[in-house]
Amino acid sequence: MEIKRIIVSHDNITNHLDNVSTSISKGKVTTIIGPNGCGKSTLLSVLSRSTMPTSGTASLENRDLVMFKPKEFAKKLAIVYQQNDVPKDLTIEKLVGFGRLPHKTLLQSNQEEDRKAIDWALTVTNLTDKRHNDLEALSGGERQRVWIAMALAQQSEILCLDEPTTYLDIYYQIELLELVKSLNEDYGLTIIMVLHDINQAIRYSDEIIMMKNGQIIAEGPPRDIITKDVIKEVYGVNAVFKEDDELGLYMMSLGI
Amino acid sequence: MRKRIASYVIVSLLLVVTIVYSATTGSIKMGFFEFFSALFEQGNSQMEAIRDLRFPRMIVAIFAGAALSVSGVLLQSVMRNPLADAGIIGISSGAAFVQLFIISLFPMLFFMTPLFAFMGGAFACFLVFALSWKSDLSPLKLILVGIAINAMFTGLTEAFISFGGSLNVSASSIVGSNLTMRTWSDVSIIATYGTIGLILAFALYSWCNLLVLQDKTAKSIGFHVARARLIIAAVAVLLAAISVVVAGVISFVGLLVPHIARRLVGYDHKVLIPFTALLGALIILLADTLGRTIVAPLEIPASTLMAIIGGPFLIFLLRKE
């Protein structure tokens, strides 16, 4: 995926994305990080075609994103948003089944294939036992997994996640990131996500895009770009980095 | 599942019982056995009167109830708002006004009445949408906007009628609703368009189900949210408009019936839409039958009974929101 000189402005005064160009490598986990309001979610929404850029181009497989039909694009890229309303009286299985929409046309659908995809999505997200439960009865961590399962049922090559761990406690955060990791390693999905936690970003990403004020400050493998100076510049935080045999690289913030 | 089947069976039975009761009760009374034997023979004068006067009225009531209730389900789905009802938010009064206005000016176009009613309803629906869009269709805002639109069109209609007294316009049946003196030609209008509308509504059930997702999520799975909304709203307006043409404005049915229906059969529109149609038919037929029998020979219009029950019900729903 590639974007070139993207400018996004919601009010025509300030640019939420200011001349951003980058490319996302296939088969990798790419994480976008940066302080609040830096444009990281906006960048993700441009990549997932939910925001149309004011100028610039975004393309997938050398085709401009606007050229894709909605269902065609949904077969290429799925996205899980940070917060979702919980519909009433809907079983997990039915909700996950919505993810099959891009594979259906008005007159035909392959039910066998749909069933397989739904089963797979439920198995991967460890929700098979609860498939007939109502969504309302689930915990926050389980609900987040249900939305991921719906996205997986699309069977796209790219999966985007907008701050998937934000409202979860630490157990579910780890569970979720491990799920993302296995989706990438075992099933070859390209992952693009926005995270808040820098240590989680270091640990679970192949590539990091670091943003501030609508611009990309640094991008590359975590070890190459996340340094004391960059953290100071982007977040205004003094930090130290330690190398640990088990943990790898990790960051502690000292103060502001 | 068992509750669903039981609900379907009970409401169907009640509908049949109400149909028989309604057909045999009123100014001409008949016993059940007498009625059934007369049903299949010619020349029974009482039966002829029932056939000409009572059957059309009953069929119109059944179709109007089904159409208005399903219209409510569709509007609630499209606006993602449990309080939407064609009568309350002004779609019916928009349809009534435009229909009256155009037909008064061009009486020779009377055969196109359903089309004008549809245009009026669509215009009112568009206004409600456009004016409450900014608040993300928040339930209360939408109802407030709708009540204002409704007041405007009702006012316009009333002004037009008092003004048109000299033009010899008789339009009292459009303002309120009165099911007396319906004819078989009324039946053919509502049966034709009503059936088309109800079939279209059912065909849209999977779209209605998908609209429980937030717009951004629905879009991300490749769903044409705007197109689906437009088409579903158009079918809802068709159903409401055709009821207005034949039965006048009846509010609150589209609010009351879907709400009870969801309690009984759940939120899946595949089951909900047909059930709502059945239940709506039952309720309006019942309201009309009671309206013409409890204080006979006077009549209470079905719309009046619905308003008496529906008003408190809306307050109850608003308090729960």
Q: For the segment B250-265, what is each residue's pLDDT rounded down to a tens digit?
A: 988 999 999 999 989 9
For residues A192 and A29, give the distance between their C-alpha atoms in angstroms, rounded to a whole number.
6
Q: A158-162 and A77-80 as β-strands: parallel, antiparallel, unpaired?
A: parallel
Give contacts of A144 with chain B, Cβ < 8 Å: none
Chain B residue with CA closest to A71: the answer is B222
Superfamily in which the B61-320 domain is placed by CATH: ABC transporter involved in vitamin B12 uptake, BtuC (1.10.3470.10)
Name the helix (H) or strand (E) containing A164: none
The pTM for the full model equals 0.89
Q: Distance between terminal CA atoms of chain A?
A: 36
A211 φ, ψ (degrees, to nearest 5): -120, 155
Give contacts of A94 with chain B, Cβ < 8 Å: 268
| Burial group, residue A57, by CB count within 10 angstroms (0-12, 13-18, 19+) | middle
Percentage of chain B exceeding pLDDT 70: 94
- Selected residue of B207, B220, B271 to mutate for chain A interface (largest A Cβ count, 10 A): B220
Q: How far is CA B60 from CA A145, B66, B120, B177, B297, in A?
A: 50, 10, 21, 12, 21
For B59-113, how does the pLDDT look when each residue is reduced to its tens digit (9 = 90+)? 999 999 999 999 999 999 998 888 889 998 999 999 999 998 888 888 888 888 8
* From A70, A85, A89, residue closest to B222, measured CB to CB: A70
Chain B residue with CA closest to A152: the answer is B221
Name the helix (H) or strand (E) containing B57: helix B55-78
* From A50, A89, A98, residue closest to B266, measured CB to CB: A89
For B118-166, how does the pLDDT look when each residue is reduced to its tens digit (9 = 90+)? 999 999 999 998 888 877 667 778 888 999 999 999 999 888 888 765 5
Give the full edge-to-edge strand order of the sheet including A158-162.
A77-80, A158-162, A190-194, A29-33, A207-212, A215-220
From A249's Cα to the closest Cα of chain B, the distance in A is 35
Give contacts of A81 with chain B, Cβ < 8 Å: 214, 216-217, 220
Confidence check: pLDDT of A246 > 80: no
Ordered alpha helix ranges (H), A83-187: 92-98, 111-124, 140-153, 170-187
For residues B83 and B81, give the distance between their C-alpha atoms in angstroms, rounded to a whole number.
5
Residue A14 has a pLDDT of 80
Q: Distance between terminal CA atoms of chain B?
A: 28
Q: How far is CA A256 from CA A235, A239, A253, B36, in A?
A: 9, 9, 9, 90
Contact between chains at B216 and A50 (C-beta distance less than 8 A): yes
Q: How many CA atoms lie within 13 A of B222 on its CB side?
A: 25
* From B217, B223, B224, residue closest to A81, measured CB to CB: B217
Instruction: List for chain A the helix, strand, coil content (%; round to 5).
Output: 40, 25, 35
ipTM over 0.95: no
Instruction: List for chain B the helix, strand, coil content (%; round to 5).
Output: 80, 0, 20
For residues B11 and A253, give the distance between their C-alpha atoms in angstroms, rounded to a whole number.
66
Q: What's the CATH number for A2-225?
A: 3.40.50.300
Chain A residue with CA closest to B225: the answer is A70
* Cβ–Cβ < 8 Å for B18, B282: yes
Give contacts of B214 with chain A, Cβ < 8 Å: 81, 84-85
Q: Which amino acid is at B255?
A: L
Q: What is the mean pLDDT of chain B?
A: 87
From B231's Cα to the closest Cα of chain A, the distance in A is 15
For residues B27 and B54, give the distance between their C-alpha atoms in angstroms, rounded to a whole number.
10
Contact between chains at B212 and A90 (C-beta distance less than 8 A): yes
